[in-house]
Amino acid sequence: MRIVLALVAALALACAPVRAAATPALPTGVRPVSGPVLTRFDPPDVRWGPGHLGVDLAARAGETVVAAADGVVRFAEVLAGRGVIVVDHGQVRTTYEPVAASVRVGEVVGRGRPIGRLQAGHPSCAGTTCLHWGLRAGETYLDPMLLLGGTIRLLPASVERAEALDPRPVTVSQPVARASMALLMPASGPVTSPYGMRRHPLTGVWKLHDGTDIGAACGTPIRAAASGTVAALSFTGAYGNRVVIDHGVASPGRLTTAYAHAGGVVVSVGDRVAAGQVIGTVGRTGLTTGCHVHVQVWAGGRLVDPMTVIP
């Protein structure tokens, strides 16, 4: 009986929503490599659930990786074939992988000092090379971008942080005018789940559904809603394969769209695409109940309801 109760308690803990911990003292930091963000911090809704517990930064294999802040090297070894470095900064520590270390355990490093060179092979950056940069306070994962001067925003445990493409606060309820450029529906099919607060069908968590789901058979073409440049390709446990396209400036501001859960992607970062051009195919990668494309839109840097800008 005691064993059964212990198992039930452990299961309840594993399925509990991840809540914010007390805010630690954060050092002032720098980027460990200069490249853009490929995959942002995306903590899971429940412990051990799918998510992305760090930030992926684009970089070339062999590029120098520097310490994000002053600290002491606590770990510098190869794990599962990839070099991992951990630097202790007091109340928090940063992690860097895959990196061939040029420092030793116990060595004091200064902010911006080289600690190694980037290796290829990080699994979440298929088709390119990147640095996976992490930040932890005890056993709690934090967004490493906070070291660059961002702010920690604490929300109720029942509400998920809405992801923005810039560090400004996200407004999810403010109406926006229709875009001046004509946007197309990215796939042929009905809207199966609109933008807004909902109970997640798999986790049961009441949270923001940060896009519009268009139901379509797996393999159906996904088309760019407007002309633009492919800004990022990523894979996370929640979104699966996702394509992000920058459409430039138009009323009501710079427009960016994203297309998640793709089964396949046929474009690369930096590609120019035309409105209606096929960029991938509908799939069910990531945390999903079936084949569909999850469409997200940012207008003027703010996450908005896609159906307010797509006719």
SS (H, E, C) 239-292: CEEEEEEEEEEECCEEEEEEEEEEEEECCCCCCEECCCCEEEEEECCCCCCCCE
**229-268: pLDDT as tens digits:** 998 888 887 888 999 998 887 655 678 899 999 998 999 8
Whether 42 contacts 236, CB under 8 Å: yes
Q: Which domains does the chain have, with CATH numbers?
A: 14-148 (2.70.70.10), 191-308 (2.70.70.10)
Whether 280 contacts 259, CB under 8 Å: yes
Query: Which CA distances in Å does 53 have to 145, 166, 192, 199?
Result: 12, 19, 29, 23
In sequence order, the 6+-apart residues with CB closer than 8 A to the CB of 9 are none
Whether 226 contacts 248, CB under 8 Å: no
**27-61: pLDDT as tens digits:** 888 999 988 888 888 776 555 555 678 888 888 89
Specify the range with the lowest mean pLDDT, choosing from 80-89, 95-104, 152-161, 269-278: 152-161
Q: Which residue has the tokens 């569909």?
A: 292
- pLDDT at position 296 over 90: yes
The per-residue pLDDT for 17 is: 42
The per-residue pLDDT for 222 is: 96
In DSSP terms, 166 is beta-bridged to none
Report pTM.
0.48
Angle at 147 between CA 36 and CA 249, to 5 degrees: 40
**82-123: pLDDT as tens digits:** 899 999 999 899 999 999 999 999 999 999 999 999 998 777
Q: 302 in helix, strand or coil? A: strand
Task: Give 217's pLDDT tier (boundaries 50, 70, 90).
Answer: very high
Query: DSSP characters for 80-103?
Result: TTEEEEEEE-SS-EEEEESEEE-S
- pLDDT at position 185 over 70: yes
